[in-house]
Amino acid sequence: MLYTTFSNATRILPPERRQLTFVLVNAAPKVAPEDLAARIESATGLRARTSAQFKSDTVHWFLLNSEDVGDIGAMLTLAISVGFGVTGVMLYMFTNENLRNYAVLSAMGATPRLLLTMVFAQAGLCGLLGTGLGLGLCAMIGQLAIMAGYPFRMMWFTPVLGAVTVILVCLVAAALSVRPVLKMEPSQVFSGR
C-alpha cells in the first residue's frame, strides 16, 4: 500500500478506468467526521467512511476475503477434533482406571448424582485450566508477534468461542466417561479382585 498524491499515483500506476481506491481527507476543526462523510457521499455519490468505519470495513474485508481465515478455521477444526479425541480418551481411561475408587465411594453411600458431579467437576477443572493456559499463551505469543512487527489482533469473540468450544469438548468427554461409573455395581468390581 502506498500513500501518495493523486498526480504521483497517475504517473506510477498503469492507466485504468479507476486509478483511485480511496481518498484520505481530514475534517476541518469543529466539523464532525460523520457529517463530513455524509456530505461527501451526497455530493459525489461515492462511499465515504470515517476513520473508525474504514478500520472496521478493512477488518471485515480481510475476514471475508483472506485465505488466512480459512486456514485458521481448518486448523481450529483439526484442534477441536484432536481435543475431542484426546480429552475423551484420557478422561475415559482415568475414569476406568479409578473404577474401584468410585465403587468404594458408591459402597460407602455415594449417590450416582454425586459420582456424576465428581466426574464433571474433574472435566470442568481440566477445561478451566486448559482454557486459561491456552488464552494466556495466545496473548503472550500475540504480544511477541506485535513486538516483532507482525500484525496480530485478538478479536473479542476469540476467547468466547474458545471457551464455548472447550466447554463442549469437556461436556462430551465427561458424558462418555461417566457411563461406566453409572453402570457399575460395587459387588462386581470387588469380585474381580
pLDDT for 48-58, tens place per residue?
A: 888 889 988 88
CA angle (153, 157, 159) in 5-degree steps: 85
Contact 177, 94 (CB under 8 A): yes
Question: pTM of whole model > 0.75?
Answer: no
Q: What is the CA radius of gyration of the chain?
A: 28
CA distance 115 to 112: 5
pLDDT digits (tens, 9 = 90+) for 121-176: 998 998 899 889 988 998 999 999 999 998 888 888 888 988 888 888 888 888 88
Share of the chain above pLDDT 70, in %: 95
List all residues 6 or more positions away from 88 whose beta carbon is below 8 Å from its beta carbon.
Answer: 172, 173, 176, 177
Is 92 in contact with 176 (CB distance < 8 Å)?
yes
Cell (9 digits) for 48: 465515504
